[in-house]
Structure 1
């Protein structure tokens, strides 16, 4: 046997032995050798690998020291979204969650003679760290990523490889060919204390808490820095899995443990909400004695089939909840109140506090929300106040210790002029609309009326405008936007498209290459989709999904700009208040000027088209009458009126006798209808709405767009998982062009499901219901066939 063969065998034996010791130490918490013996084995392995560098492999225990520093993190799109959990801050929230779960599973309810069926839950502490995704292929760790926004995270593969208790290669056998492990990377209390001691010794700044230390360590561009930090992983679930897994959540975690991944030693099973409460109380009493920081307990329905049956809301699963510990409180002094100006001009009071430690974090600022909250608290500058971290995260003032109020305490006064631009500050008004009337009251917020002439509003508006989900201008971070505004180069979003090379290159941090990159990014943003553009405008109460809905339903910017509130309120999930916000935004002369400038400076909207047939066909005369909000005329009465009169003009002209002949229309309703149309402004308003319905082709007598001839007309499709050849949005658009309706959930009415990699509960439900499932290749082939 040659020396090289002998070394190879010894290296393999050492790696196997060290991996076994790591497993016993980190996963089983049963170390089998003293630290000195472990160090001796590790040193021998390092020596042999130094002598035989050709035998070094990526999964060797020695390869956790970190490689070369990175220039930046890449992005990782999660094939299965990393959703957040709903929170339960009070015991009743947990009880309500359990009730919703039992109702969702259609389990027998309790009565006087018993408590009904109980759900089995898994219970584990909620670690205060950073959520990560670890991808294993054929048992090898190939990628690590942060949670990010749930859909897209950062590639931190080089850094997660340095975390000692993350196996670079899975142990045992039976793991899926592709396995995505979800977990929390955290820093134990002792490691955190030691790290801060080193920071102080080296003249550095100590970390505020273990969570910040863990997050900061994982986001180091130099993996060698991460390698020197005392980080650990605790696995709490799986995302994508190409293979069979146990049928319970606890079973899956036990399988992960068998494959070398650490799980919580506090993991337990609970039957019913009473045992969940007992677990929460028990862990709460032991919280300070644990080796790591926790901020609550996570309860999950244990049976995977039940999880799939319950499904998801938009941002969170229906089968899991985080029961948070009560916020920890301290007292401190209110030194002053400053007023910040937001994107919409809202003036927010912010408390400046004498710094105090609250739940391991130094708190020196706290939001006061608005002046109504200031009045409710009765807080004055100079007061001693009770501060807490709501949900252990957001500092807020809980109350005032009145007996400690000093004689020179000062009242908190809202400024008459904006602290940034000096414009007048006005109190907002709340308009509540109900059947036939509007009531106006004072709102809780104050706003600067300076709009984009106010630098604070301008900066925030542009930061929103260029953000990734809006116009997506890469390279325009907050600091760059501040420079552009401060130097007078940008006074509205439209000015971004007049910036020159000479103007940008003079900004701090810019050279020739970075300037050309920014100009290229601005140029690339000139062709946004209509939905992105609407979202970028920053219309109050219009988020990304509402912007997509407006674009998809109305088809063009021109229609959205003139759409009346009543017409907009036919959109699903757009109430009358939001509809009025949208309409008011486009009635504002300044907003229209900015939009005209943007279009004049080269913005070319993409994906504009016709009114969506489903939206065009949603209006009936009865629905129209109901939308008029006539007192005492509900949906049933509106239908009777529509059946009797058949047109708006006949209804407006209807006399008392005509109305009294309608079966089951009360006298009160008839008088209300007559009184409503006797007011000329009401009749004219109704006529203007009807005129717009005709103009848009939405009138109940309009010729509706024929979609029956389209190949997928009348069908409901669902997209799940990720697609490689196109985005989900593009896939959805292609289906809608073919006449299909694309839904967000699978039901018995679903005709087909397109399942890409990472498909989860929707695919499982489709399989259970026997619904046709297409993979991406079959889907692309079908699109090609149907498009001829």
Structure 2
């Protein structure tokens, strides 16, 4: 047989047997027979490399390691889900649907296990997998095509006659047995074990080297497509059946439910079997089955109206409270963290839990050495529910906040009326480090390549000790290149990323500084009002109060911040380093004036076609100012779904009320 014909035959055989093994769990040949076919394919492709195709089974572990992940924009957003927690919430979910639709309509549903993994999108063109990406922020994710190709249950080529373009959504996860094997291997190699299956799955998919991903026991279930019409089916349940015919794995516990009471019954049955499953689920997803009704119901800003995630109750266990550590945050907030005797809670080993603050510890009456109930709130965040007081030792000591900062020894303060104890020394090492991490993060200037672990490394080595040091790293290029985990290529990329941030938007720069009480909205208001950093830094308390959205606390915080001699010296050093924040100039309309000039706009309620952050950006880009409350200066109030007291107040004050569409129309004019 000619090499090309035999390679095509081997493709067909290997794909067929992989589907039977990984998806149907019904193999018809032995592992050794499969391996023999695979080795034959490798030998033929080695002799005829020109015949290697992207859908070849040999390409699952192909490709070189990446330097970084590129960005992928989803054609249709990957929305998140609103939550329900009990039977009443599910009934209220249906009641909301009926209020939106005609009362006489028959509603049926599909109930699906909510897997605890990582949401991904797979793009198939003419049946061939051409791209795979993470959910990301819902609109833009990371390109992990090479990594997803290593997941054996994801077909590289679809079976049957799929549509020319099919964008499949699903969950990559790790079974409990796979996590146990992986963690045993991690421990043998002296590495930290993964905390839970979700972390293991996410960490495995985000390996830059796909060969590492290939070594991890990952699995996949499809749960939808970006555009239901692509499948030619009328409902969710039928669509999932069609995905099966294309060779995509679909969870075996998916159920069609004709009534909401049947949904509730399915929820309780799923709750009963959750610990018998070979993988973790943390709830059940409920979707309106009919695609026509889904389209009529539409989406809110971040979630579809036609679906909800009914979460399982938190799982509890008992363990010993060994000790307490006190962590210092960026703003000086001191947070107590319980160190626990490791205990498995819902399949995850828990050894630490936040205690929030002194008031919370006193309310729960916690003592060192207590036997305590621990739960994973929402099946994610560990927390202590209560102590078993009747088993407390007589000499047990209550937990108290320290009098001095555990890092810099500065006296701690707990202002009257506040729950948080703080270190007010702005030059505390812990605060400085966390401020640097914040400055370079996405919430700050978003300096690519300077993530948390690299900032910690540079801070520990005293290469960067404050913000201006970041902008001087170009002079230490060779030092950076010599560090563990770096190299000249990495150093040059970080330096280029830093250089691209020397003229950041003023609002972005202010948010990056981490001034207490100054967030994204107030930073934008300050930018619009002052336009220049020097003018803001010199502003008085009264001048700051003139800015919409800036109250007494924020004004005092700004004055205190810019009055600090070390802050003033830092700003001088930044200016000397060529850092010059600029105010974003609003977009001018046809007449030369920005469409929203002189408008102070408040958003209230849930927006439907754009996110709240996008709406605020539109206001800023078009010359307007964002309001955080209804005040004398507020000129317009944009009203979304479930607008509350702010709408009522706006009506009482005769403010201009706009719908979302009316607001967008003002910009389009």
TMscore range, shorter length: 0.7 to 0.9
* Distance of aligned partners of 1:612 and 1:579 in 2 relative to their CA distance in 1, 3 Å threshold: farther
The one of 150, 174, 187 aligned to 1:187: 174
Query: 1:290-369 to 2 correspondence within 5 Å?
Result: 290-369=277-356
Tell me, yes or no, if the aligned pair for 1:81 and 1:150 is still in contact at 8 Å: yes
- Give 2:118's aligned residue: 130
Cross-structure match for 2:270: 283
Deviations 1:117-154 (A, max 9, x none): 66432211111222222222232211222233444433
Task: Return the index of the structure with the highest Cα Rg.
Answer: 1
Separation in 2 of the partners of 1:303 and 1:553?
50
2:438 — aligned with what?
464
Partner of 1:210: 197
Question: Which of 517, 530, 533 is residue 506 of structure 2 equivalent to?
Answer: 530
Report the Cα distance in structure 2 between the residues aligned to 1:588 and 1:234, rounded to whole angstroms.
54
Query: Distance in 2 between the 1:729 and 1:325 partners?
Result: 35
1:342 Cα offset (Å): 0.8
Q: Number of residues paired by the alignment?
A: 620
SS in 1 for 2:275: helix
Distance 1:382 1:156, change over 3 A: same
C-alpha displacement of 1:733 = 7.5
Q: Is the 8 A contact 1:719 1:732 kept in 2?
A: no
Tell me the alpha carbon deviations over residues 257-313 of structure 1, each in whole angstroms, 9 at most, x when there is no partner.
222211111112224432221111111111122232211111123333443444444
How far residue 484 of structure 1 moved from its aligned partner, in angstroms, is 5.2
Mean CA deviation greater in 540-549 or 72-81: 540-549
- Quickly say closer, same or farther: Cα 1:613–1:206, change in 2 above 3 A: closer
Structure-2 residue corresponding to 1:144: 132
Pair 137,395 (structure 1): closer, same or farther in 2 beyond 3 Å? same
Q: Deviations over 1:204-247 (max 9, x none)?
A: 66544333332232233332232233221111222368956534
Which residue of the partner structure matches residue 583 of structure 1? 555
Could you say which residue in structure 1 is the equivalent of 2:649? none
- Provide the rounded CA distance (Å) in 2 between the counterparts of 1:80 and 1:743: 25
Q: Distance in 2 between matches of 1:734 and 1:420?
A: 42
Corresponding residue of 1:111:
none
**1:70/1:222 contact within 8 Å kept:** yes
Distance 1:171 1:511, change over 3 A: closer
Q: Residue 59 of structure 1: CA displacement?
A: 0.6
> How far apart are the structure 1 equivalents of 2:365 and 2:277?
39
The verdict on how the C-alpha distance between 1:279 and 1:555 changes in structure 2, with shifts beyond 3 A counting, is farther
Per-residue deviation, residues 556-588 of structure 1 (Å, max 9, x unmatched):
66579678787655xxxx6xxx74443333232
Partner of 2:479: 505
- 2:118 and 2:640 map into 1 onto residues whose CA distance is 29
1:421-436 equivalence runs, <5 A: 421-429=408-416
1:98 to 94, 98, 121: 94
Q: Provide the alpha-carbon RMSD of the alignment.
A: 4.1
Could you tell me which residue of structure 2 aligns to residue 446 of structure 1? 421
Aligned to 1:61: 57
Distance 1:373 1:50 in 2: 65
Query: Match of 1:182, SS?
Result: strand
Secondary structure of the corresponding residue to residue 330 of structure 1:
strand
1:455 aligns with 2:429: yes
Aligned counterpart, 2:598: 616
Matched position secondary structure for 1:428: coil
SS at match of 2:442: coil
1:18 maps onto 2:14 in alignment: yes
Alignment match, 2:235:
248
Contact kept? 1:25, 1:31, Cα under 8 Å: yes
Answer yes or no: is 1:173 the counterpart of 2:161: yes
Contact kept in structure 1, 2:111 and 2:254, CA below 8 Å: yes
Measured in 2, the distance between the counterparts of 1:478 and 1:307 equals: 41
1:404 corresponds to which residue? 391
Q: 1:342 to 1:83 in 2, by over 3 A?
A: farther
The 1:314–1:550 alpha-carbon spacing in structure 2 relative to 1, beyond 3 Å, is farther
Conserved in 2, the CA contact under 8 Å of 1:171 and 1:260?
Answer: yes
Once residues 574 and 187 of structure 2 are traced to their aligned partners in structure 1, the CA distance between those partners, rounded to angstroms, is 55
Q: Report Cα offsets for 1:399-442 as digits up to 9, x if no partner.
A: 1111211122111111111111122211134xxxxxxxxxxxx2
**Cα distance change of structure 1 residues 530 and 91 upon mapping to structure 2, 3 Å threshold:** farther
Q: Is the 8 A contact 1:717 1:743 kept in 2?
A: no
Whole-angstrom CA distance in 1 between matches of 2:155 and 2:31: 19
Task: Identify which range, 165-174 or 301-310, moves more after superposition.
Answer: 301-310
Give the distance between the partners of 1:554 and 1:95, measured in 2 at CA: 51
2: CA distance, partners of 1:550 / 1:318? 36
Unmatched segments (≥5 aa) in structure 1: 109-115, 430-441, 624-715, 721-726, 754-770, 772-778
Cα 1:89/1:46, change in 2 over 3 Å = same
Confirm or deny: 8 A CA contact 1:717 1:750 kept in the other structure: no
Local SS of the residue matching 2:18: helix
- d(CA) in 1 for partners of 2:474 and 2:594? 40
Find the counterpart in structure 1 of residue 648 from structure 2.
Answer: none
So what's the TM-score if we normalise by structure 1? 0.69
Offset, 1:526: 1.4
Residues 1:226 and 2:213 aligned together: yes
1:394 alignment counterpart: 381
Q: Which residue of 1 aligns with 2:72?
A: 76
In structure 2, C-alpha distance between the alignment counterparts of 1:280 and 1:31, rounded to whole Å? 32
Note the C-alpha offset of 1:37.
5.4
Output the CA distance in 2 between the equivalents of 1:322 and 1:152.
23
How much has 1:495 moved relative to structure 2?
Answer: 4.9
Is 1:477 equivalent to 2:459 in the alignment?
no
Q: CA deviation at 1:32?
A: 5.1
Counterparts in 2 of 1:409 and 1:27: CA distance versus 1, 3 Å? same
* Secondary structure of 2:383 counterpart: strand
Aligned partner (choices 226, 236, 254) of residue 223 of structure 2: 236
Taking the aligned partners of 2:188 and 2:467, their CA distance within structure 1 comes to 47
Q: Tell me the distance in 1 between the aligned counterparts of 2:473 and 2:37.
A: 62
Contact 2:477 2:492 in 1 (8 A): no
Cα 1:278–1:413 shift into 2, 3 Å:
same
Alignment check: 8 A CA contact 2:526 2:536 kept: no
- Report the CA distance between 1:386 and its aligned residue: 0.9
- CA displacement 1:732-782 (0-9 Å, x = unmatched): 877779xxx9999999984899xxxxxxxxxxxxxxxxx9xxxxxxx9xxx
Q: In the alignment, is the contact (CA less than 8 A) between 1:85 and 1:317 conserved in 2? A: yes
Q: 1:521 maps to which residue?
A: 497
Aligned to 2:402: 415
Which residue, out of 360, 366, 371, partners 1:373? 360
Q: Which residue of 2 aligns with 1:86?
A: 82
Shift in alpha-carbon separation, 1:245–1:530, aligned structure 2, 3 A = farther
Number of the residue aligned with 2:152: 164
Please state whether the residue corresponding to 1:411 is helix, strand or coil: coil
